[in-house]
Amino acid sequence: MSYEVLAQKWRPQNFSDVVGQEHITTTLKNQILSERIGHAYLFWGPRGTGKTTIARILAKAVNCPNRIQETQFDAIQTAEPCNQCEFCNEISHDRSFDVIEMDAASNRGIDTIRDLRENVKLSPATCPYKIYIIDEAHMLSTEAFNALLKTLEEPPPHVIFIMATTEHAKIPKTISSRCQDFDFRYLEDEKIIERLQLIAQKEGISADLDVLTLITRQSEGCLRDAENLLELVSAAGKELTIEAVEQTIGLGSSSLLQELREAIAERELTKGLKTLNNLMKQGTDLSQCLDQLIGYFRDLRLLAIDSSLSEQVQSPKSDIPRLKQKAEAMSVNRLSRIIKILMHTNQDIKQYGYPQLQLETALIQLNSLEEGMPLEEAIGKLSALEQKFDSAGLSAVSHQPPLSGSHQSAADSRKPENRGTLPEFEDINPAYDNNRRKGLPRTENREPRTIPADSHPNVSHGLRDLKDLPSFWDEVKSKLPMRFRYALPEGAVPTVNGANTVEIPCSSSFIVLSTDENKKIVADILKQEVGKPVKIEFVASDIVSESVVSEDEPKETEQKTSMMRRVEAQDDPQLKTALDLFEATVVETQ
């Protein structure tokens, strides 16, 4: 006999061996004892919880002649098969003529069922009962199910059908109503651990409780998963240690995971990213690691809601005092957001792959996650703000009042992120500029931030003189849309010609920007500052912006000429008429 894996070798052979599912074994045993055996059973439930096993035991139990031992005066009955008689042995080794185990997934057509209907009529060869075990029954075709209906309703007295499936929903109602329905449940962790301990002991595998607990938790209540994992780890020939198991199933070492959790909780981005990198180097399965993170923060949230919820916490009981301490320091709100982002990442990993990158992005996102406030509070503050607007009787013009204290406390950001970069929403929300001009209050539900007081110069400074443009040019520049920033060289200052014409130097490679539309955008912004209409001209300057374009020189010169040509072409009156007529733009000049 060749090697059998643990799950096969330790398949229970009688009812008392079966782990869990007492509600089923008790019922079946009582049925056998009282000789009220049904003619059709439907076993359904998750994988690895004992469906096929119990079906086989039932087949043996009803056929075993040794079940009833006659003494001189009385007959003693048990519900268990003896596992020694000929019938039991034949059934155990799948040799019996009268116990037919069908793989419905491989033979799913109507012809199989027609054959079955022919054979059902014949009486059993040796055993008292003829038993059909139809495994993976959900895969039978509709026709096959329907062909079975009449037989299933009134089979010959010597026939018992047992169907087993993982997908109850796929079994037609007409089938399940003709069967006795038994739902198999996920097994409790304690029972799986107990079973694993027994197996380990009998197989001479030395494994302590912690290891078995880890294996059990990984198997999600399915005994076969747990047994297979034990097999895998023990076949690797290593000592059964927590580390060996973690390595086999791709869990990161618990100390690194702990570090990662702390980094998230404490907002230590660098530490988090480094830890993640180390986990990667260890060969951790990052989606497993993500699951663990979610589980951990779920526990923390439970404890943060109420420390009496510790019953439902999944982490080991010994960790609870430490978790409680952690939970106190974090708000439920933030924990909820952390969980939400992690779950989202989980989904993204499943959809797009790139686990490392996705997790890194999540870490960065988590790092800039603020404590936030409950929605009701935010709404309250907003409506207070609204009232202030109303009472001040402000029209929707550029006079936005200095931010009220309430808004600023909402923007209680601990550290201004993106220091030295752009105001965040500018380039992603085109409506932003408009909103700001109209003085609409803006809600930033994700990233509250302080708005520096001087970002509203028109309030604090009033109108300015166009002549002073060079002095406040930088300020104006910061309000221009993204695309201008590359175009306008550092240090180059516009010149003011006459009363209202401004010449803005522009690096020659970007001279294509000088369209009427763009001019208008700049003019509008300037108009806000100086309070009168301004005419804008772009002038090609020879200063090439060092920061952006200097890298690929040779290409640049080529492009420059074509760009220049384009600008020249745009001035051509005929072309202009054509452009206006067709609302076109110049794409290429030759």
Partner 1 sequence: MQHPIIGHQQIIDQLQHTVASGRIAGAYLFVGPTGVGKETVAHYFAQLIFCQQETQSPTVCGTCLACRKVNSGNHPDLQLIRPEGSLLKIGQIRELQRQVIYEPLEASRKIYILTDVDRMNPEAENCLLKTLEEPPAASVLILLTSNVQALLPTTRSRCQILQFRPMPTQELAEILVDRFSVVPKQATALAIAAGGSVGKALTQLENGDPLTEQVPEILRETDRLAAFRLAEDFKNNPDTLGELVTWYRDLLFLQQGAPRELITHIYSVEELRTIVPYYSRLRIQQAIQTIFDTKSLLENTNTNATLALEVMCLKLLK
When binding is defined by CB under 8 A, the residue of 77, 206, 277, 307 that contacts partner 1 is: 277
User: Rule CB under 8 A: is residue 269 a binding residue for partner 1?
Assistant: yes
Residue partners of 194: CB distance under 8 A and separation at least 6: 19
User: Rule CB under 8 A: is residue 394 a binding residue for partner 1?
Assistant: no
User: Rule CB under 8 A: is residue 360 a binding residue for partner 1?
Assistant: yes
Contact 195, 20 (CB under 8 A): no
Would you say 389 or 432 has its CB closer to partner 1? 432
Helices (H) and strands (E) in the chain, counts: 27, 10
Burial class, 85, CB count within 10 angstroms (exposed 0-12 / middle 13-18 / buried 19+): middle
User: Rule CB under 8 A: is residue 393 a binding residue for partner 1?
Assistant: no
Dihedral pair phi/psi, residue 555, rounded to 5° = -65, -40
Would you say 393 or 420 has its CB closer to partner 1? 420
Restricted to residues 529-568, the positions that interact with partner 1 (CB under 8 A) are 547-549, 551
Shortest approach of partner 1 to residue 184 CB, angstroms? 13
User: Rule CB under 8 A: is residue 270 a binding residue for partner 1?
Assistant: yes
Contact 226, 196 (CB under 8 A): yes
Restricted to residues 91-130, the positions that interact with partner 1 (CB under 8 A) are 103, 105-106, 108
Neighbours of 359 (CB within 10 A): 26
Would you say 389 or 425 has its CB closer to partner 1? 425
Restricted to residues 221-240, the positions that interact with partner 1 (CB under 8 A) are 222, 224-225, 228, 231-232, 235-237
Restricted to residues 492-511, the positions that interact with partner 1 (CB under 8 A) are 510
When binding is defined by CB under 8 A, the residue of 262, 268, 417, 433 that contacts partner 1 is: 417
When binding is defined by CB under 8 A, the residue of 149, 198, 357, 578 that contacts partner 1 is: 357
| Closest among 112, 153, 118 to 134, alpha carbons compared | 112
When binding is defined by CB under 8 A, the residue of 315, 336, 368, 406 that contacts partner 1 is: 368
Dihedral pair phi/psi, residue 301, rounded to 5° = -65, -40
Would you say 79 or 260 has its CB closer to partner 1? 260
Would you say 158 or 477 has its CB closer to partner 1? 477
Residue 572 to residues 75, 566, 586: CA-CA distances in angstroms?
Answer: 115, 10, 12
Would you say 170 or 399 has its CB closer to partner 1? 170
Strand partners, 505: 539
Would you say 27 or 347 has its CB closer to partner 1? 347
Q: Are strands 501-507 and 495-497 parallel, antiparallel or unpaired?
A: antiparallel
- Interface segment toward partner 1; rule CB under 8 A; list 20-28, 61-69, 421-429, 568-576: 421-429
When binding is defined by CB under 8 A, the residue of 185, 191, 274, 565 that contacts partner 1 is: 274
Residue 427 to residues 423, 483, 515: CA-CA distances in angstroms?
Answer: 8, 9, 20
Strand partners, 495: 503
Would you say 90 or 360 has its CB closer to partner 1? 360
Contact 264, 366 (CB under 8 A): yes
CB-side neighbour CA atoms (13 Å) of 63:
32
Shortest approach of partner 1 to residue 357 CB, angstroms? 5
Give the whole-angstrom CA distance, residue 458 versus residue 238: 73
Would you say 56 or 301 has its CB closer to partner 1? 56
Give the whole-angstrom CA distance, residue 263 versus residue 260: 5
Restricted to residues 284-303, the positions that interact with partner 1 (CB under 8 A) are 285
Angle separating helix axes 22-33 and 51-63, nearest 10 degrees: 10
Restricted to residues 148-167, the positions that interact with partner 1 (CB under 8 A) are 166
Q: Which residue has the tokens 């010994």?
A: 318
Size, binding site for partner 1 by CB under 8 A: 75
Question: What secondary structure letter does DSSP report for 34?
Answer: T
Shortest approach of partner 1 to residue 130 CB, angstroms? 20
Task: Compute the 3-state secondary structure of the chain and give helix, strand, coil in percent, each to the nearest 5.
Answer: 55, 10, 35
Restricted to residues 324-353, the positions that interact with partner 1 (CB under 8 A) are 348, 350-353
Would you say 80 or 182 has its CB closer to partner 1? 182
Q: Which residue has the tokens 């013009």?
A: 397
Would you say 198 or 236 has its CB closer to partner 1? 236
x-marked contacts with partner 1 along 25-54 as a string, rule CB under 8 A: ---------------------xxx---x--
Shortest approach of partner 1 to residue 52 CB, angstroms? 8
Shortest approach of partner 1 to residue 114 CB, angstroms? 19
Contact 5, 70 (CB under 8 A): no
